[in-house]
């Protein structure tokens, strides 16, 4: 019965997308009104460098001013429809570290199994920038000060899994991020992405620069960045996550996802979260993240 309900929910999401009269008038994927979106200030873009635009839902695990340690994320993502050619698009579930004030922590590492359209960091431009397919793979990224010019390759802070999976719209991808050898103070990490249609899988094990730095935030996100040769369009289906679970070292203060701080569609929604008996795991049957409606350069 739960699988039937999930399939019906996914069908409603995609129908809402397909029947929208215009990109700025997409329907909500269920009868519940989406949460209001918090629109934060935008930093000035660097000259000549396109700004990333995001549509996201976020969970911050800050308890009484103390960041929690998130130890794992498991989810199944459905690959969206093929978008037009326009720079690149990244879609992901991810973990990273924020301060109690909500700022990205010093030395932050992004644990980010990803679905990518267009340019791939440290990948051959001619193969992956041809706008013919989505690719999916494990990725972790160090956000320390990067002296590389924007868009330059190779990027020493970007670490890919051993295999890049060519995936089709509608494929379901099982994605996981796990702390391994966790001793209460340090951990190594492992990510796996599996295409459930083909059975192909890519796994990346790694140690981050500071093994005592644990993620405290969860993001479900679509990121857009234009190049100088294309116009923006949001003609792609929403990013759908199902059977999602996040586990932390200590009880989570809240399991309610909130909109990200950048302008979004105001349509992003999730099912009611379920909290484990010990309070350490949040689960959602479905999460839907819609593409942005307008691109801010």
What's the domain range around 131? 51-289
Tokens (6 digits) for 276? 């484990």
Does some domain include residue 37? Answer: no
**What is the tally of structural domains in the chain?**
1
What gap in Å lies between CA 117 and CA 122, rounded to an integer?
Answer: 14
Q: Which domain CATH number covers 97?
A: 2.60.120
pLDDT over 90 for what percent of the chain?
47
Does some domain include residue 259? Answer: yes
Does some domain include residue 195? Answer: yes
Does some domain include residue 104? Answer: yes
Does some domain include residue 9? Answer: no
pLDDT(254) > 70: yes
Tokens (6 digits) for 260? 């990200």
Q: What is the pLDDT of residues 28-87, one digit of tens each?
A: 333 333 333 333 333 333 344 556 788 899 998 877 678 899 999 999 999 999 988 777
Does some domain include residue 149? Answer: yes
Does some domain include residue 38? Answer: no
Does some domain include residue 189? Answer: yes
Q: What is the pLDDT of residues 179-230, one digit of tens each?
A: 999 999 999 999 999 999 999 999 999 999 899 999 999 999 999 887 766 6
Q: What is the pLDDT of residues 93-127, one digit of tens each?
A: 999 998 877 778 888 899 999 999 887 775 555 45
Check residue 103 and give its pLDDT.
77
What gap in Å lies between CA 280 and CA 277, rounded to an integer?
Answer: 8
């Amino acid at each position: 019965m739960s699988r039937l309900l999930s399939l019906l929910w996914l069908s409603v999401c995609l129908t809402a997308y397909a029947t929208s009269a215009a990109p700025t008038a997409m329907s909500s994927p269920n009868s519940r009104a989406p949460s209001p979106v918090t629109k934060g200030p935008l930093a000035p873009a660097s000259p000549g460098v396109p700004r990333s635009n995001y549509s996201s839902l976020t969970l911050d695990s800050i308890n009484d001013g103390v960041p929690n340690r998130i130890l794992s994320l498991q989810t199944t993502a459905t690959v969206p429809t093929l978008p037009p050619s326009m720079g690149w698009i990244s879609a992901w579930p991810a973990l990273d570290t924020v301060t109690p004030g909500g700022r990205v922590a010093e030395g932050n590492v992004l644990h980010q199994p990803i679905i990518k359209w267009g340019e791939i960091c440290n990948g051959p431009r001619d193969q992956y920038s041809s706008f013919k397919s989505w690719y999916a793979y494990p990725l972790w990224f160090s956000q320390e000060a990067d002296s590389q010019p924007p868009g330059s390759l190779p990027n020493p802070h970007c670490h890919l899994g051993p295999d890049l999976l060519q995936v089709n719209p509608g494929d379901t991808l099982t994605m996981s991020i796990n702390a391994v050898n966790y001793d209460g103070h340090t951990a190594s990490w492992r990510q796996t992405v599996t295409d459930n249609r083909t059975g192909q899988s890519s796994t990346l094990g790694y140690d981050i620069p500071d093994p005592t730095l644990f993620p405290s935030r969860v993001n479900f996100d679509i990121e857009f960045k234009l190049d100088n040769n294309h116009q923006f369009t949001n003609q792609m289906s929403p990013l759908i996550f199902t059977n999602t679970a996040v586990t932390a070292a200590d009880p989570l203060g809240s399991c309610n996802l909130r909109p990200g701080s950048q302008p979004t569609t105001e349509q992003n929604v999730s099912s009611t979260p379920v909290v484990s008996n010990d309070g350490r795991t949040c689960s959602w049957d479905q999460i839907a993240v819609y593409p942005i409606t307008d691109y801010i350069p």
